[in-house]
Amino acid sequence: MNLRRFLSLLAALLWCGDALSDVLGLASLFGGKPVCAANETKGMRLAAPFPSLPELNRPVAMLMAPGDDSNWYLVQQPGQVVRFDNSSQASHVTEFVDISERVAGGRNGGDERGLLGMAFHPDYSRNGYLYLSYTGRDKQNGLVSRISRFQSRPGAGMVDSASERILLSVSQPYSNHNGGQIAFGPDGYLYFGLGDGGAGGDPHGHGQNVGTLLGAMLRIDVGDGSSGRYTIPTDNPFAAGGGQGEIFAWGLRNPWRWSFDRESGDLWIGDVGQNRYEEINLLVKGGNYGWNRMEGGHCFEPATGCRTQDLEMPVEAYGRNEGIAVTGGYVYRGWGIMGLQGKYLYADYGSGRIWQLSASDETGYVSSELFKTDLNISSFAEAHDGELFVLGLGGEICKIVNARAK
């Protein structure tokens, strides 16, 4: 094992083990920035689509604005969003918004806090509204996970950071398991994935407590965005009481990257495990996904004999022999690789492996490995044409392409 790979794996262990370190920064001193190297498999490979871009800073998400495929917007964990041309000739990035002074954490290797998500309002081209999800500080509540609305400056090509309107703040008892991704669903509502509040084993029991917003997927209605507030969709599971109205599904430990299938509308999610299992779930409204009663498809608390009848089981789970922290991906709906059509792709942050999940009449789903990489895979990204990209926390952007493509 080369030195860079060793340091990369050590960084992954620290990330998943809730310690703070700048090991990824150390890794960059040995061997330089890695390329998108992976085994060619099933007629596909990884390529570097933007080889001339400058060094990027801990990317955790990448997206396009609605109806516009000319630019990419890259979310960087320390608190910046940068924009660059959607072109193989792209050679520079432009600041889109910088809220690093408001962000708690995200600057050091192993820190799970930071700027963690971004979503454009579906009517962004008209109203200029976008939403950022980040961990910040609150004078009364300490560390919080927050969703804020911002507005871009007309004609300026950047966001007015003074336009922030805080929609939602959720107190965090610990610094890890923040989840943090946000996205608009096909129903027009804004979804927000939150972890169980951190530490280990869910010491406060948030996962099975619908009286808290932690350990849950939330769904809220921001309307046209103009009010800077939200309402509860009337068909949310607890809209009429019995739990927090924002909850869409619960029983999650740390939902790290999730997506909607653009064809079916299905919500796929990668939920990071505790000690033994990583899992992939298909989220349904009102579903309880088991944490901390279960980890993967196995009892956690208690270790045996846990009640499972009221739980939604994962569609796939894998153990520590294959990785240590799942990164959820997308169902492939592009046209460049016909063999991937309808397959769900996901990865592991620690091992750098990428898998496809295929529907099976016999077992429901079958998983098979596509690539082994040296990347600490922090996220996937989907272009408007359905093609998929892979992000490495060390600053890498790779694209899954047909092996014959130049």
Dump pLDDT digits (tens) for 137-151.
988 879 999 999 999
For residue 18, the model assigns a pLDDT of: 42
**Residue 351, pLDDT above cutoff 50:** yes
Confidence of residue 25 (pLDDT cuts 50, 70, 90): very low
**Residue 254, pLDDT above cutoff 60:** yes
Specify whether the CB–CB gap between 285 and 267 falls below 8 A. Answer: no
Q: How are beta strands 344-348 and 326-331 bridged, if at all?
A: antiparallel
> ∠ CA 364-366-371 to the nearest 5 degrees?
155
Short-list 244, 268, 252, CA closest to 215: 252
User: 25 by DSSP, 3-state: which?
Assistant: helix
Tokens of 255: 């939902």
Q: Measure the CA–CA gap between 117 and 104, rounded to whole angstroms.
A: 14
For residue 399, the model assigns a pLDDT of: 97
Task: Average the pLDDT over 55-83 and give the result.
Answer: 97
For residue 405, the model assigns a pLDDT of: 76
Q: What domains appear along the chain, each with residue ranges and CATH number?
A: 3-402 (2.120.10.30)
**Residue 365, pLDDT above cutoff 80:** yes
The phi, psi pair for 141, rounded to 5°, reads -110, 0
Residue indicated by tokens 């820190």: 111
Q: Measure the CA–CA gap between 79 and 134, rounded to whole angstroms.
A: 8
Short-list 268, 283, 261, 260, CA closest to 342: 261
The phi, psi pair for 280, rounded to 5°, reads -115, 130
Q: Classify the C-alpha dihedral 231-234-237-238 as positive or negative.
A: positive
Specify whether the CB–CB gap between 56 and 378 falls below 8 A. Answer: no
Query: What pTM, to 2 d.p., does this model score?
Result: 0.93
**Residue 9, pLDDT above cutoff 80:** no
> ∠ CA 46-48-49 to the nearest 5 degrees?
115
Residue indicated by tokens 């703040």: 169
| Predicted confidence (pLDDT) per residue in 51-67, tens digit | 999 999 999 999 999 99
Short-list 125, 18, 110, 150, CA closest to 64: 125
For residue 108, the model assigns a pLDDT of: 67
Confidence of residue 198 (pLDDT cuts 50, 70, 90): very high
Beta bridge partners of 401: 45
User: 338 by DSSP, 3-state: which?
Assistant: helix
Short-list 22, 23, 84, 20, CA closest to 55: 84
Q: How are beta strands 353-360 and 364-372 bridged, if at all?
A: antiparallel
Cα dist from 154 to 147, 163, 184, whole Å = 22, 13, 22
| Predicted confidence (pLDDT) per residue in 86-115, tens digit | 999 999 999 999 999 999 988 766 689 999
Short-list 173, 245, 249, 234, CA closest to 211: 245
Beta bridge partners of 85: 71
Count Cβ neighbours within 10 Å for each residue of 263-272 and write b for 16 or more, e otherwise. eeeebbbbbb
Residue indicated by tokens 């917003």: 213
For residue 20, the model assigns a pLDDT of: 29
Bin 61: left if φ > 0, else alpha if -120 < ψ < 50, else beta.
beta
- The mean pLDDT of the chain is 91
Confidence of residue 11 (pLDDT cuts 50, 70, 90): low
> Identity (one letter) of the amino acid at 401?
V
Confidence of residue 23 (pLDDT cuts 50, 70, 90): very low
**Residue 33, pLDDT above cutoff 60:** no
Q: Measure the CA–CA gap between 76 and 370, rounded to whole angstroms.
A: 27
**Residue 156, pLDDT above cutoff 80:** no
User: 152 by DSSP, 3-state: which?
Assistant: strand
Q: What percent of the chain has pLDDT over 70?
A: 90
DSSP letter assigned to residue 288: B
Tokens of 321: 């022999």
**Residue 169, pLDDT above cutoff 60:** yes
Q: Measure the CA–CA gap between 93 and 75, rounded to whole angstroms.
A: 12
For residue 8, the model assigns a pLDDT of: 53
Residue indicated by tokens 């406060």: 204
Task: Average the pLDDT over 63-79 and give the result.
Answer: 97
